[in-house]
């Protein structure tokens, strides 16, 4: 058996684990990241696309923002489209100059992986049989098989950054965690298409046929979503059917949707989920391992980054100043902001989707709320400040 030792063992090389690794390195704290998949898999996995104002600044500060600033698209607003008309929410004027950056999550992953490997910091791909032990002691261990060899990684702390289906959250003894959960009665069918975006900004569309979202990844690639049944099968969605549905749901006078070859197609389930607390003993959960949001507010990856910012500061206080109180406060500090992002994501989802059991009254209420949000400075400000990202401190 191979024996390794580090200060912080990180399970999972998603945005949470990777960015945590970089922040710890900057603070002079050693970490080893173990990842189940290979490098190509995590670098190609298409997921979130909107980076909050502060999160882009954090990546800059870590020296990881060069390509994001060069290739990412700064967005100063979004369009809410309903009843056949578009209404713009302008971020800078409502938030004191803030914006978001449209840049794929997998691009962030590529940038951080490249920086980590170039610096020679440990990142082990294709580990299997990962388990965590001794989390209630001062010497937790991560066990896994890597390159055919059983490995034991002794740590001071374990960061569970292994996503919603990971092994860290289930390693916490029964009865410790309280889970809060909501499953939505629909999913999103998402496509990546080789076509220039039809609009300069993202369009969130309410329609009689259900929600649609027009996003993008670059000046030549669009990312589009349509609300679909939760258990739908991608095989049911031919390219023609998808384009037809997008045309109908996004229709507005003077708008024309650009089509192009569909490069990728997938269906995402919609769920709100939080566990409390996010720490047990020496295991600290971060990102999707502890909470997920429905994607409508574009919060998933941003929440993961916020958690690991708080966590890295707490670990820095522990190692540099011998202080445990920031680690003790980790869960409460994160959860206060997480619940606000949960509320926002639930609200955006409820505002824009077609719920099967909606009555005509409910649909009118949604339209009235959309009208209010796009005509009241107070309501538009509430949307904008949540969208660009609530303060971390």
Report helix, strand or coil for 312: helix
Whole-angstrom distance, CA of residue 192 vs CA of residue 214: 10
Among 9, 21, 65, 295, binds ligand DHB (CB under 6 A): 295
User: Is 75 part of the annotated catalytic residue set?
Assistant: yes
The one among 151, 296, 333, 349 contacting ligand DHB by CB under 6 A: 296
**Of 166-185, which residues contact ligand FAD (CB under 6 A)?**
166-167
**Cα three-residue angle 64-65-68, rounded to 5 degrees:** 125
Q: Is 340 a catalytic residue?
A: no
Minimum Å gap between C-beta 105 and ligand DHB is 8
Task: Give the x-and-dash track for 285-304 against ligand FAD (CB under 6 A).
Answer: --xx------x--xxxx--x
DSSP 149-199: EEEEEE-SEEEE---TT-STGGGSPTTS-EEEEEEEEEEEEEEEESS--SS
Residue 157 or 387 with smaller CB distance to ligand DHB: 387
Per CB under 6 A, 48 contacts ligand DHB: yes
b/e 1-29 (16+ beta carbons within 10 angstroms → b): eeebebbbbbbbbbbbbbbbbbbbbeeeb
Binding-site member from 223, 279, 337, 353 for ligand DHB (CB under 6 A): 223
Q: Choose, from 204, 225, 291, 294, the residue flagged as catalytic.
A: 204
Q: Which residue among the candidates 184, 225, 330, 387 is catalytic per the annotation?
A: 387
Half-sphere exposure of 98 (CA within 13 A, CB side): 22
Q: Does 51 bind ligand DHB (CB under 6 A)?
A: no
Asked if 16 interacts with ligand DHB (CB under 6 A), we say no
Cα distance between residue 384 and residue 309, in whole Å: 22
Q: Indicate if 387 belongs to the active site.
A: yes
Is residue 202 involved in binding ligand DHB (CB under 6 A)?
yes
Q: 3-state DSSP call for residue 3?
A: strand
Rounded CA-CA distance 337/334 in Å is 6
Residue 330 has a CB neighbour count (10 Å cut-off) of: 22
Q: Return the residues of window 141-170 that contact ligand FAD according to CB under 6 A.
A: 161-163, 166-167
Number of residues that bind ligand FAD (CB under 6 A): 31
Q: Which residue is nearest to ligand DHB (CB)?
A: 49
Task: Establish if 298 lies at the interface with ligand DHB (CB under 6 A).
Answer: yes
* Least distance between ligand DHB and beta carbon 6 (Å): 34
Shortest spacing between CB 295 and ligand DHB, in angstroms: 3
Sequence-separated contacts (24+) of 353-360 with Cβ below 8 Å: 353/184, 353/186, 353/210, 353/211, 353/227, 353/296, 354/186, 354/207, 354/208, 354/209, 354/210, 354/211, 354/227, 355/185, 355/186, 356/185
Is 330 among the residues known to form the active site?
A: no
Residue 204: active-site member? yes
140 binds ligand FAD (CB under 6 A): no
Among ligand DHB, ligand FAD, none, the one that 215 touches (CB under a kind-dependent 5 to 8 A) is ligand DHB
**Site for ligand DHB (CB under 6 A): which residue of 12, 49, 86, 287?**
49
| 272 contact, one of ligand DHB, ligand FAD, none, CB 5-8 Å limit per kind | none
Residue 72's binding partner among ligand FAD, ligand DHB, none (Cβ under 5 to 8 angstroms by kind) is none
Specify the residue for token string 């929600």: 211
Q: In what order do the strands lie in the sheet with 212-218?
A: 85-90, 77-82, 202-205, 212-218, 221-228, 178-193, 262-276, 291-292
Residue 16, binding choice from ligand DHB, ligand FAD, none, Cβ under 5 to 8 Å by partner class: ligand FAD
Can you give the length of the chain in residues?
Answer: 393
Return phi, psi of residue 89, to 5°: -105, 115
Those residues with Cβ within 8 angstroms of residue 132's Cβ, 6 or more apart along the chain or in another chain:
11, 140, 141, 142, 143, 158, 160, 167, 168, 171, 283
Subset of residues 10 to 49 that bind ligand FAD, contact rule: CB under 6 A: 11-17, 34-37, 42, 47-48
Catalytic residue numbers, as ranges? 75, 204, 295, 299, 387
Site of interaction with ligand FAD (CB under 6 A): 11-17, 34-37, 42, 47-48, 105, 127, 130, 161-163, 166-167, 268, 287-288, 295, 298-301, 304
Site of interaction with ligand DHB (CB under 6 A): 48-50, 202, 213, 215, 223, 295-296, 298
């Amino acid at each position: 058996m191979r024996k390794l030792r580090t200060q912080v063992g990180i399970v999972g090389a998603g945005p949470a684990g990777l960015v945590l690794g970089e922040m710890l390195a900057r603070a002079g704290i050693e970490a080893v990241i173990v990842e189940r998949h290979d490098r190509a898999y995590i670098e190609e996995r298409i997921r979130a696309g909107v980076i909050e104002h502060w999160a882009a600044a954090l990546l800059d500060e870590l020296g990881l923002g060069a390509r994001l600033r060069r290739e990412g698209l700064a967005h100063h607003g979004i369009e809410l489209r309903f009843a056949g008309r578009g209404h713009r929410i302008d971020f800078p004027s409502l938030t004191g100059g803030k914006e978001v950056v449209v840049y794929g999550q997998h691009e962030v992953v590529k940038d951080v992986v490249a920086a980590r490997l170039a610096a020679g910091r440990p990142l082990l791909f294709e580990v299997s049989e990962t388990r965590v032990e001794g989390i209630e002691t001062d010497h937790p261990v991560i066990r896994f098989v890597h390159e055919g060899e059983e490995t034991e990684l002794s740590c001071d702390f374990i960061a569970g950054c292994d996503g919603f289906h990971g092994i860290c959250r289930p390693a916490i003894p029964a009865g410790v965690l309280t889970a809060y959960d909501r499953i939505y009665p629909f999913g999103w069918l998402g496509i990546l298409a080789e076509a220039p975006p039809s609009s300069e900004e993202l369009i969130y569309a309410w329609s009689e046929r259900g929600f649609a979202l027009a996003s993008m990844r670059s000046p030549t690639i669009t990312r589009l979503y349509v609300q679909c049944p939760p258990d739908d099968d991608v095989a049911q969605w031919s390219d023609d059917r998808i384009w037809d549905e997008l045309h109908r749901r996004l229709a507005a006078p003077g708008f024309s949707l650009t089509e192009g070859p569909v490069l990728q197609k997938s269906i995402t389930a919609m769920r709100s989920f939080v566990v409390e607390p996010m720490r047990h003993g020496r295991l600290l959960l971060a990102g999707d391992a502890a909470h997920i949001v429905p994607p409508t507010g574009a919060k998933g990856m941003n929440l993961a980054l916020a958690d690991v910012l708080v966590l890295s500061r707490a670990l820095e206080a522990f190692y540099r100043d011998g202080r445990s109180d920031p680690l003790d406060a980790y869960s409460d500090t994160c959860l206060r902001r997480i619940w606000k992002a949960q509320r926002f994501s639930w609200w955006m989802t409820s505002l824009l989707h077609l719920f099967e059991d909606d009555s005509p009254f409910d649909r009118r209420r949604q339209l009235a709320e959309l009208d209010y949000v796009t005509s009241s400075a107070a309501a538009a400000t509430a949307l904008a400040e949540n969208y660009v990202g609530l303060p971390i401190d």
